[in-house]
Amino acid sequence: MSGILYVLDDQKLAPHYDDLEAFKNDVLQGLRKLNKQIPSKYFYDAQGSALFDQITRHPDYYLTSCELEILDTYKKQLAMKVGAEPFNLIELGPGEGIKTRILVEQFLHDSLSFTYTLIDISKNYLEKLIAQYNRQSPQLELIAINSDYFKGIQWINTTSKRRNMVLFLGSSIGNFDIATTKIFLRHLWDCLHAGDYVLIGFDLRKAIDILMRAYNDSDGITRDFNLNLLQRMNRELGANFRMDKFSHYEAYNVYSGAMESHLVSLESQIIDIDTLASTFTFEPFEGIHVEYSHKYLLTQIAEFAYTTGFEIVQNFTDSQHYFVDSLWRVVKRT
Ligand SMILES: C[S@@+](CC[C@H](N)C(=O)[O-])C[C@H]1O[C@@H](n2cnc3c(N)ncnc32)[C@H](O)[C@@H]1O
């Protein structure tokens, strides 16, 4: 069996769906707001994805090593919990997929019967993963869906009657604001059957200097990753942002528990975006909010599960208790 890449349209699987219109619309709406903002999902063009891969390898960015430790420690336990009958392994936002490979290899080793569906907004990541799995594990049934999470999940619902196990790793859930987190989890619940599993990575609250280091790495890769969003608008939308006229700024909000990423205009300037036929005015030190990375309390994680229709099966943590992979089961009363 070899992997197939689908590109998802709003209504159907379509071979030539182009997300440029969505990007244009979100930039137009976001830069017109009083508090300017652009959704973080637009970080992940080819350049952004390559920079993110470098971030995950940087010693200041503790999240990846913590989650790799958790998955390596508990992979057999996870295989035993979910693998009793054939299932669909569905991953939201796999990135370069090194974490999931630990589980996939364990599942193959244990001869579990499963398919693997990847949903990611970055076509670049999906193409690389398909090529790798086709080469290294040609027996694996693999489907890659190039889509936003919300649309991709809907597609799963219409096609599968098997037990599902959804992976949402890396604390990518932390990029949603809290209201959207609950809407997303309830939407996910709606698309799943009673007894299905989800495994969600949550980065826990910790000393603020550790957080600040992780999002301001000593080699400036996170800075370049954030500024790439401006370069992407230059490349794809015909904007004229100058990198030397913006700086990257990270702040931790103690009340909400979120690291927040901003791009800050260093002077008064007017930006033209050709494809939007629009100009945008920036005052000195005006910012664009580009990402939330929420950090969680265990009570908050329990509340998310309980209020959106899941029960917590087990919380798996790393040895430093920095990170949790929380295994949930869908509860539906009949
Ligand atoms: C923070 S990275 C995490 C990657 C990987 N799961 C990890 O733990 O290292 C987020 C991943 O989700 C994808 N992504 C971000 N926003 C998305 C969205 N709204 N819909 C679908 N994929 C998205 C990105 O392309 C990237 O692969």
Q: What are phi and psi of 130, to 5 degrees?
A: -60, -45
Atom of ligand 1 nearest to the CA of 94: 6
User: How far, in Å, is the centroid of ligand 1 from the Cα of 63?
Assistant: 14
Below-70 pLDDT ranges, the chain: 1-18, 157-159
Hey, whose CA ends up nearest to atom 11 of ligand 1? Answer: 93
Give every CB contact of residue 104 below 8 A, 6+ residues apart in sequence: 89, 116, 133, 137, 140
Hey, whose CA ends up nearest to atom 17 of ligand 1? Answer: 41
Strands (E), 138-254: 141-146, 163-168, 197-203, 246-253
> Three-state DSSP class for 218?
coil
CA atoms within 13 A on the CB side of 140: 27
Q: How far apart are CA 149 and CA 152, in angstroms?
A: 5
Give every CB contact of residue 58 below 8 A, 6+ residues apart in sequence: 217, 219, 221
Residue linked to tokens 């929380």: 326
What pLDDT is recorded for position 205?
Answer: 98
The per-residue pLDDT for range 78-117, each reduced to its tens digit, is: 999 998 899 999 999 999 999 999 999 999 999 999 999 9
324 alpha-carbon distance from chain centroid: 16
What pLDDT is recorded for position 11?
Answer: 46
User: How far, in Å, is the centroid of ligand 1 from the Cα of 267?
Assistant: 32
Return the closest-CA partner of residue 199 out of 66, 88, 321, 91. 91
The per-residue pLDDT for range 246-276, each reduced to its tens digit, is: 999 999 999 999 999 999 999 999 999 999 9
**Which of 40, 41, 215, 232 for mutating ligand 1's site (highest number of atoms within 8 Å of CB)?**
41
What pLDDT is recorded for position 3?
Answer: 64
Q: How far apart are CA 183 and CA 270, in angstroms?
A: 36
What pLDDT is recorded for position 294?
Answer: 98
Would you state the torsion angle of the CA atoms of residues 127, 132, 134, 136, taken in this order, to the nearest 10 degrees?
-170
User: How far, in Å, is the centroid of ligand 1 from the Cα of 284?
Assistant: 32
Return the closest-CA partner of residue 149 out of 236, 228, 40. 40
